[in-house]
């Protein structure tokens, strides 16, 4: 199975939270957006600033994010991806989720690869299904 993974998937893995993606080990190849690095690191920074994790845990989690991203194909936010994200979708979708979905669509179209979308975000899952993706994680 080839999967587009969003930041929610990566963060649950890094933070060791319950409800991590059961299918993680069944995935053959992973793809994500360069947006995932920013989202993950910003989330970790917020957790540290709010006292939810300490400095040692922050350092461990940041290293784990970089390790995961090193093993995943990261797609840059190109002008065509940004343009697609700005276009209408069949369901309500926030900006960051639209960027993730537009990246997955572009990857699928350009590479001709059958992808599932892996997310723990219900709104992104609904939009991904509406444009023809199988979804795991929700």
Domains, the chain, ranges and CATH?
2-136 (3.40.50.1010)
* pLDDT tens-place string over residues 42-71: 999 999 999 999 999 999 999 999 999 999
Neighbouring residues of 55: CB distance < 8 A, sequence distance ≥ 6: 48
| Per-residue pLDDT at 57 | 97
d(CA 2, CA 47): 30
- Of 113, 41, 120, residue with least CA distance to 75: 113
Instruction: List average pLDDT for each run of 10 residues in the chain, which is 138 residues long.
Output: 97 96 95 97 98 97 97 96 96 97 97 95 98 97
Nearest in space to 104 (alpha carbons), one of 1, 2, 25: 2
């Amino acid at each position: 199975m080839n999967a587009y993974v969003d930041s929610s998937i990566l963060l649950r893995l890094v933070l060791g939270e319950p409800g991590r993606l059961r299918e993680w080990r069944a995935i053959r190849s992973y793809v994500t957006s360069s947006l995932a690095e920013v989202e993950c690191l910003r989330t970790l920074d917020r957790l540290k600033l709010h006292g939810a994790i300490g400095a040692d845990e922050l350092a461990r989690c940041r290293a784990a994010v970089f390790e995961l991203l090193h093993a995943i194909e990261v797609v840059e936010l190109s002008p065509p991806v940004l343009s697609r994200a700005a276009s209408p979708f069949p369901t309500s979708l926030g900006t960051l989720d639209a960027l993730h979905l537009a990246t997955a669509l572009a990857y699928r179209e350009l590479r001709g690869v059958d992808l599932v979308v892996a997310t723990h975000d219900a709104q992104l899952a609904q939009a991904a299904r509406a444009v023809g993706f199988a979804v795991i994680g929700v």
